[in-house]
Structure 1
Amino acid sequence: MSYAVENWGGGGDRIVLVHGSLGVGAAAFGKQKPLADTFALAVMTRRGYGDTAPIDAVDVLRDAADVIELLGDGAHLVGTSMGGIVAMNAAGRRPDLVRSLTVIEPPAFALASDLPPVRRVAEAMRKHWATADRTKRHAFVTGFLAALEMNMPMPDPLPPPVNAAAGVLVTERPWGVDVPVGAVADARFPKLVVTGGWSEAFDGISGRLADLFNVECHCLQGAGHAVQKVGEPFNALLRRHIASA
């Protein structure tokens, strides 16, 4: 199986939801289940995660092609963290299939490398990848979170789904991913950028993206990097965003 998808709800506009690192679709977007009352949700689990087949390395463009397949003849698109990078690449390649785009704290470090907090975190991640033992997954994940300046203790041993996701994480290069900002900015679909207000680096990246897209950057506090897990405040914002399309 290349990628997986869970379908929640059956009526209304379709929303494709794309998770980030260290998780799978249903775990990342469980708080969005109430949206299934009025929308048809396609909750993606990317290649290499969950019960999908193992992969050699994360390929953002291949994931973006999978998202394009899921968009069908058109859908709203939501991506969190690295899923936001995947979503922007899909939207840049096929803007005609995107009804609206929402990105939640995407790690687009290169877009805001002039900002000291962004540069500090990017450099910490480079150092971690260069020096960490990638076979020791708990230590690698702990160091990764420390590089992100994220205070989130991890159980040892890691829960099986997180341990499996860590095997994918070691193949990423979060500080060096590209996004087609120009193509997305020029597209006519509405764009929404959301941040959690917990990190100077991610606030800086999100603010820069919002400026480039000429939209407001929305801050929803209370769930750290996984902003969508605040639940109803995010869901209400997303409903308004989709209505604007």
Structure 2
Amino acid sequence: MTDERIRRIKMPKWGLSMTSGTITDWLVAEGDEITDGTELAEIDTDKIAGTLESPEEGVLRGVVVAAGESAPVGGTIAIVAPAEVPDAEVEAAVAEAKEQLASGAVEEAAGPVTGEVEVGGRNLSYATMGDGPDVVVLVHGFGGDKNSWLFVQEPLAEGRTVHALDLPGHGSSTKDVGDGGLDELAGAVIGFLDALGVERAHLVGHSLGGAVVTAAAARTPDRVRSLTLVAPAGYGTEANADYLRGFVEASTRRELKPHLRALFADESQVTRQLVDDLLKFKRIDGVQDCLRALLGTLLDGDKQAIDAASLLAGVAVPTAVVWGAQDQVLPVADPSAFGEGVQIRVVEGAGHMVHMENPAAIREAVESLLG
């Protein structure tokens, strides 16, 4: 019988389309003590690179998949166990895991479960992970979709229910944003909660999504337990208008890729797959009209048009803010825009897509508000 203290670290499923990942670097070595949340390895997916955080505590006793090697989703990549577990048992577990990988007999990890609800005559698509009493709703930014949370949703879903929502006009949701106004988008989030029967939720919003969840909280404060704002729009006047307009109008790889580099501190994150996926999205009927409508909501000339700060002033829920220090799209706002008592963390080495470049910072911010 296998010692129950032997725990298996598996290749995660970070998105609906992810089937495998490549270990590009191990950040810990065999014999190292690890805890829940320890950064274990850098993993390359078909979308983007990310850092795997440990879901286990103990000692890293065996590496099954070496740096440079790939494994299918759900495959064991390392063994964790207390130091007192005999080496022979750990070696047997490593050998078993390697045999499973070689034979292809790997049970795929459960990924997000997708669904659709109708809100205001539109179908809204969403992906859900976990099943717990606390409900977290993740809302992406301008031009994004539910998959932008791929590195955040899984770790947050431990003991919780976490929904990643496609706003109107984005992802797999209906390509119709109405007038494109902030109130329209906030109404979609509130309608989503209604459709799922969620009385109160922790709302997390990135960029435009940050302004949207702020507006939702201002409209229905009794429905919101906390706000986590990730590089949110509407908390200052400065914006990279050239990026926003360039993203909307770009129709080829050559035109789009230079603009996407502004999203990350590490420009190598702009992979061919990322560019191709965004071009595919932008070519869907109705998308350009939606993006242009939303651009009118975001910008007044070359300045931000949204004033989310005044909305937040009337919201009395625990709030945290996370911003990438190297954000080239929306500069880090003055802390006074958020009022007193708001946690603000500026993350070095991260740009506008801080939830992709440092997902641990987002997880920590959300969990700090769960109480």
Describe how 1:174-185 pairs up with structure 2 within 5 A.
174-175=298-299, 176-185=304-313
Aligned equivalents of 1:236 and 1:135: distance in 2? 35
Aligned with 1:62 (options 184, 188, 202): 184
1:224 maps to 2:351 = yes
Residue deviations 1:147-168 (CA, integer Å, cap 9, x gap): 7797745649942345315734
Check 1:201–1:148 CA distance in 2 against 1; reply closer, same or farther (3 A cut).
Answer: same
Aligned equivalents of 1:213 and 1:163: distance in 2? 43
Aligned with 1:189 (options 317, 324, 343): 317
Aligned with 2:332 (options 204, 209, 213): 204
Shift of 1:61: 2.0
Aligned with 1:38 (options 152, 155, 159): 159
Instruction: Write the letter of the residue equivalent to 2:360.
Output: E
Contiguous gaps of at least 5 residues in structure 2: 1-121
Shift of 1:135: 6.6
Contact 1:133/1:140 (8 A) holds in 2:
no
Aligned equivalents of 1:70 and 1:183: distance in 2? 21
Describe how 1:42-121 pairs up with structure 2 within 5 A.
42-55=163-176, 58-71=180-193, 72-108=198-234, 111-113=235-237, 118=238, 121=240
Aligned partner of 2:26 in structure 1 is none
Aligned equivalents of 2:224 and 2:349: distance in 1? 29
Identical aligned residues as a percent: 24
Contact 2:209/2:232 (8 A) holds in 1:
yes
Aligned equivalents of 1:55 and 1:143: distance in 2? 28
Check 1:214–1:182 CA distance in 2 against 1; reply closer, same or farther (3 A cut).
Answer: farther
Aligned partner of 2:251 in structure 1 is 136
Shift of 1:16: 0.9
Q: How big is the alpha-carbon RMSD for the aligned residues of Structure 1 and Structure 2?
A: 3.2
Check 1:16–1:177 CA distance in 2 against 1; reply closer, same or farther (3 A cut).
Answer: farther
Which stretch of structure 1 is more off in the superposition, 192-201 or 94-103? 192-201
Check 1:56–1:41 CA distance in 2 against 1; reply closer, same or farther (3 A cut).
Answer: closer
Instruction: Write the letter of the residue equivalent to 2:176.
Output: I
Shift of 1:62: 1.8
Check 1:137–1:56 CA distance in 2 against 1; reply closer, same or farther (3 A cut).
Answer: farther
Instruction: Write the letter of the residue equivalent to 1:134.
Output: E
* TM-score, reference length from structure 1: 0.77
Contact 2:264/2:350 (8 A) holds in 1:
no
Instruction: Write the letter of the residue equivalent to 1:107.
Output: A
Contact 1:92/1:180 (8 A) holds in 2:
no
Which stretch of structure 1 is more off in the superposition, 46-55 or 91-100? 46-55
Aligned partner of 1:16 in structure 2 is 137
Aligned equivalents of 1:17 and 1:155: distance in 2? 25
Total equivalences in the alignment: 231
Structure number, greater radius of gyration = 2
Aligned equivalents of 1:94 and 1:157: distance in 2? 35
Instruction: Write the letter of the residue equivalent to 1:193.
Output: V
Shift of 1:41: 0.6
Going by fraction, where is strand more abundant, 1 or 2? 2
Shift of 1:90: 0.8
Shift of 1:59: 3.8
Contiguous gaps of at least 5 residues in structure 1: none
Shift of 1:144: 4.7
Instruction: Write the letter of the residue equivalent to 2:134.
Output: D
Check 1:26–1:135 CA distance in 2 against 1; reply closer, same or farther (3 A cut).
Answer: closer
Shift of 1:30: 3.4
Check 1:200–1:31 CA distance in 2 against 1; reply closer, same or farther (3 A cut).
Answer: closer
Check 1:214–1:73 CA distance in 2 against 1; reply closer, same or farther (3 A cut).
Answer: same
SS at match of 2:127: strand
Contact 2:132/2:161 (8 A) holds in 1:
yes
Which stretch of structure 1 is more off in the superposition, 181-190 or 142-151? 142-151
